Amino acid sequence: MAQPAAVILAAGSGTRMNSAQPKVLHPLCGRPMLAHVLAAVRRAGVGRIVVVVGRDGGAAIRDTLGDGVEYVVQHPARGTGHALAQALPRLRRVGLTYVVHGDMPFVSAATLRALRRALGRTGAAALATRVVEHTHRFGRIVRDPVGRFVGIVEERDATPEEAAIREVNAGMYVVRVAEIRAALARVRPDNRQGEYYLTDAVNVLAVTGRDVTTVPVEDPAEMLGINTREELAEAEAVLRGRILRRLMLGGVTIVDPPSTFVDATVRVGRDTVLHPQTILTGRTVIAPRCEVGPGARIHDAALGRGVRVRDSSLEGCRLGAGTTVGPYAHLRPGTVVGRDVQIGNYVEMKQVRVGDRTKVHHKSYLGDASIGPDVNIGAGTITCNYGLDRRKHRTEIGRGAYIGSDTMLVAPVRIGREAVTGAGSVVTRNVPARSVAVGVPARVLRRLDRRG
């Protein structure tokens, strides 16, 4: 069986979001809501994806999604049927296509596959429906006395009797391309909105004797469409809860789920513990047996096995196994930390490589530096990396060096292997291996013998 295509309707202006950003690009647990829809249709086994965009938001959507999908522009916006009609010329050699809305991030691959099965070999269209308590905003499913599908009536156009129907259109379809193309040609904008409804095309299929099938939606969240920021927050809460449940089923301890936030893009290993007020975002990967939080904010970072992070902010960095961070440390992009490193309170690092077993316990700024293994960085140490030439310069500290408290390392400078700087030193020149340097500016006083 040939792969179906998918048409995603994403041309809506999202007026009620009151935003300069296209509605479908608003983030939902770390991904644009449209990306969640794309992931679902890909899991359903589509061959091609056509995204219908508006004139105003189309460029931003293209920039976000890239070249993995095709785009068509709907202008002017004249309804969902008109939007689908803009995409059909791209699908001339496609037999079936899914049609879904870009603002429905909970659409599932399972429901889409069920629609395709229900369509069978002879059906013209299959659509998802659900019986609900609150029917506001949904089109009603009208059936004949024996339960066969007759048509869909939009809420704005429903009679009082039709408005009382509790079975509603969920907004997910699979259609035979040739059939829906012919049906759309017969649709007229004879409604209060003056628009070409996709639902009217489905109704044309039913009226002309084509087989239209319905599939019940099991999960009510699949019908959530996002039109306001309040609805966006509600959807975020639903998805966040699902992410946390999945993690807990996978062996992660989450001490207080209501105060824990994890993006859909994050991976967390088994037997890791997430404490309250932990926020994990971006492409963060946390290995097994870590302990994160309370009060940890981690973005685009990788934590090795057994890492401990408390009350600290990490972004764009990598930590080796057994390393501890915090409280109140800030590790910035480009920082790579080795194994069993100790990074304490009020330490900031940027573009730093730190060797195994090094200790940076207190109140230090280390930027644009390479620090070897087994180094001790005293409290108040600063790498002065920004020169009078307005360029960043690097500091290198060799294996086993001991940097005294309040040392200023004026880059570019190199501290040799097992060298020592005295407290309060301002180091402007290289310090040879196994030497002691003190003073302002620092001078080498002596070489260390093998007993130190």
Q: Which long-range contacts (CB under 8 A, 24 or more apart) does 84-88 make?
A: 84/7, 84/9, 84/52, 84/180, 84/184, 84/198, 84/201, 85/181, 85/184, 85/196, 86/52, 87/7, 87/50, 87/52, 88/177, 88/180, 88/181, 88/184
Residue 60: HSE in the Cβ half-sphere, 13 Å Cα cutoff: 16
Strand partners, 351: none
Strand partners, 261: 279
CA distances from 78 to 88, 363, 370 (A): 16, 61, 60
Characterise 203 by phi-psi region: left (phi > 0), alpha (psi -120 to 50), beta (else). alpha
Residue 318: HSE in the Cβ half-sphere, 13 Å Cα cutoff: 9
Characterise 342 by phi-psi region: left (phi > 0), alpha (psi -120 to 50), beta (else). beta
Cβ 112 vs Cβ 41: under 8 Å? yes
C-alpha 3 chain-centroid distance: 27
362 is catalytic: yes
Cβ 32 vs Cβ 25: under 8 Å? yes
User: What gap in Å lies between CA 241 and CA 175, rounded to an integer?
Assistant: 33
Cβ 11 vs Cβ 61: under 8 Å? no
Cβ 407 vs Cβ 439: under 8 Å? no
User: What gap in Å lies between CA 307 and CA 324, rounded to an integer?
Assistant: 6
- The CA angle 421-426-430, to the nearest 5 degrees, is 65
Closest CA to 415 of 449, 372, 351, 359: 372
Q: Which of 134, 299, 362, 393 is catalytic?
A: 362
User: What gap in Å lies between CA 160 and CA 347, rounded to an integer?
Assistant: 67
Each residue of 366-403: b (16+ CB within 10 Å) or e?
bbbbbbbbbbbbbbbbbbbbeeeeeeebbbbbbbbbbb
Q: Give me the active site residues, please.
A: 362
